[in-house]
A and B are shown apart, each in its own frame.
Chain A
Amino acid sequence: MDKIARIDMGAAGGPKVTVGDLGEYAGLGGRAMTSLVVAAEVHPLAHPLGAENKLVISPGMLSGTTGSMTGRLSVGCKSPLTGTIKESNAGGQAAQVLARLGYAAVILEGKPVGDDLYKIIINKDGIQVIVDNSLKLMDNYPLVEKLRGEYGDKVAYMTIGSAGERKLLAASIACTDPELRPTRHCGRGGVGAVMGAKRVKAIIIDDAGMKMRPPKDPEKYRDANRKFVEGLRKHPVTGEGLPAYGTNVLTNVLNEAGGYPTYNFKDGQFPGSAKLSGEAQAQLEIDRGGTATHGCHRGCVIQCSGIYNDKDGHYLTKQPEYETVWSHGGHCGIDDLDTVAMLDFLDDNIGVDTIEMGVTIGVAMDAGVIEFGDKAGAIRLVEEVQQGTPLGRILGSGAAITGKVFGVERVPVVKDQALPAYDPRAVQGIGVTYATTTQGADHTAGYAIATNILKVGGDVDPLKTEGQIELSRNLQIATAAIDSTGMCLFIAFAIMDQPETFQALLDMLGSFHGITMTGDDVVALGKKVLSAERDFNTRAGFTKHHDRLPRFFYNEPVAPHNQTFMMKDEELDEVFNW
């Protein structure tokens, strides 16, 4: 990864590719790369869909190596949904393939005039940008199917569906999994709309003729990777729970803890939760000839995903994740896994974030557009998004817009991004992260659920305010660093509990680059990333008053704990005070 490609989509005479060296961005990858580039190069007041915005695509620092778990790809820009800086990452094959081709970043700049739609082909011979108007308004599954006819099965595809082309604020960028399904999405923040604004429909990445990236110290790297994998296999979460049940094992946990947002955050427990649970889902997947254990990219040893078949045994979608099952399930009062799986398929196909889309449907239900629990109605609403009807465009623009259009007061968003599947009144720590992260409400930015609810990596009482600020701060710093390595965030469960597994990770990073990495270096990297992101947001007009939850979380207690969000504003303002 010794070069950066810049593709000026708005160049006179057609898109122009420039490949240069890394310069000031040397050594960066993933979120560190995307956020530092956006912070340095994008005007903070730029319109996110305008020529001034940039879409930065970057494999992680260890992507494309023999290291396991290294397949996360980061995409960054100024978000059209939140107006903040945005980093959204996904698994799938793209990161590994792009890294092996030597690109630390591919940056889409400018904006073409006119209506032409482009595809970008990246291979060992360079980068080509080609007009292909035959792809117009295709959704992800048929789109990838068509592209496979031309480019085959030994490549990775990054695509946008109709939602991205329509520049809807919930639009995602899909990355294909090892079986070429467009199921792994850079979902959050409307990154797909930015790709759509640049008129790029598909990026085809072909690493034929390329080799694994060689570590500086191959022996040490191999050894560290072996210890790292051992650690992941040994830990009960990464070695047993996630492979067997996937992330949706959390449905029962959060429901039992009274932190499962139900009927658009009106209740903390859902009567139908057992039917949506990871236990039920895994059994159904196995019974129908799918699988409850599947990796989103080659080299994943945790394999938290799965394959969900319909009742006739035909592939319907990948195993919907916990947040997806929640947003379309309990949040909407829907207790049927087949409906959730169909919605997951539709979201992936159209190319929208499953959290934003599900939360939006629940907000629309609260407005009376359809009833809570209306399964067919929920599917119909997402089909409106696919068709690009005026209602569909509103819904596809997310919960904040939909709430405004329909006059809903209870709209669960921070910085206009929908809250995920954990009620901050029952899990105070995650509320701190939602409120303060640079990204708009996002659980992954500082996953306080681990310590508050799961009791992994420590024990902080979810119903109290003590310890939550420090917890969220430390998690946000660590996450910003992990998001830069290309490692899947789920490794955190093992490295938080097992010092030797954390050391193995440090040794992988160190031996790859021929340096010594310490825990302090990781913290410094995380802080550097967060500081750049905070600085961008400040220049974009965000203040501490934006680092708050919607008022209803402070005013409306939620059952069963009958608590509100109790963190004081002054406490929230201390999160980034390190």
Chain B
Amino acid sequence: MKVTVKLFASFRTGRFDIEAVDYPVGTTVADVADGLKLPRTELGIMMINNRHVKLERVLVEGDTLALFPLLGGG
């Protein structure tokens, strides 16, 4: 299944900004993060289709997954 993965801030370094990726059915957010070698401790904000999700969330065809490190501002 096709999923769009977006990376932000320091996660882009050595990886990509946005990419359409093919994943097997049943892939979770954790699988994607592990596949991209994003350390679990650095994962901050995870969103699928503009909504926050947790690591164990299963992706479906056409999802857009956005991964950010822990960030702040204001």
Which residues in A have some Cβ–Cβ distance to B below 8 Å? 235-238, 240-242, 244-250, 252-253, 256-258, 269, 278-279, 304, 321-323, 443-444, 447, 449-450, 453-456, 461-463, 489-490, 493, 560-561
Contacts and interface: CB of A to CB of B under 8 A. Distances in A.
Contacts of B68: 252-253, 256
Contacts of B37: none
Interface centre among B12, B42, B70 (most CB of A within 10 A): B70
Contacts of A249: 8-9, 71, 73
B30 interface: no
B72 A256 contact: no
B74 A241 contact: no
Contacts of B66: 256
B44 A450 contact: no
Nearest to A247: B73
Interface in B37-74: 42, 44-45, 47, 50-52, 66, 68-74
A555 to B, nearest CB: 22
Interface residues of B, number: 20
A246 B42 contact: no
Nearest to B8: A252
Contact of A250 (B10, B42, B69, B71): B71
B65 to A, nearest CB: 10
Contacts of B52: 257, 453, 455, 461-462
A236 B42 contact: yes
Contacts of B9: 241, 244-245, 249, 252, 278-279
Given A256-B66, A450-B72, 5 more contacts: A257-B52, A278-B73, A453-B52, A455-B45, A456-B44
A462 B73 CA distance: 17
Given A253-B8, A453-B45, A248 B50 contact: no
Interface string B1-40: 0000010111010000000000000000000000000000
A321 B72 CA distance: 12
Contacts of A241: 9-10, 69-73
A238 B69 CA distance: 12
A171 B10 CA distance: 37
Contacts of A236: 42, 44, 69-71
Which 10 residue pairs across A and B have the least CB separation, nearest first?
A: A247-B73, A237-B72, A236-B70, A250-B73, A493-B72, A258-B50, A241-B71, A256-B66, A322-B73, A252-B8
Nearest to A422: B74
B30 to A, nearest CB: 16
Contacts, number: 93
B68 to A, nearest CB: 6
Contact of B70 (A248, A444, A454): A454
Interface centre among B6, B9, B42, B68 (most CB of A within 10 A): B9
Contact of A256 (B42, B50, B70): B50
A444 B73 CA distance: 10
Nearest to A496: B72
A561 B50 contact: yes
A237 B70 contact: yes
Nearest to B70: A236
A490 B44 contact: no
B7 to A, nearest CB: 10
Nearest to A251: B73
Contacts of A252: 8-9, 68
A487 to B, nearest CB: 14
Contacts of B72: 237-238, 241-242, 247, 450, 454, 456, 490, 493
18 contacts: A236-B71, A240-B10, A241-B9, A241-B73, A242-B72, A244-B10, A250-B73, A250-B74, A252-B8, A258-B50, A279-B8, A322-B73, A322-B74, A447-B74, A455-B44, A456-B72, A489-B74, A490-B72
Contact of B45 (A245, A247, A269, A454): A454
Contacts of A323: 74
Interface centre among A278, A455, A561 (most CB of B within 10 A): A455
B59 to A, nearest CB: 16
Contact of A253 (B10, B12, B42, B71): B71
Given A236-B42, A560-B50, A490 B74 contact: yes
A265 B14 CA distance: 36
Contacts of B51: 463
Contacts of A443: 74
Given A236-B42, A240-B10, A244-B10, A257 B73 contact: no
A256 B6 contact: yes
A215 B25 CA distance: 62
A257 B45 CA distance: 10
Contacts of B70: 235-237, 241, 454-456
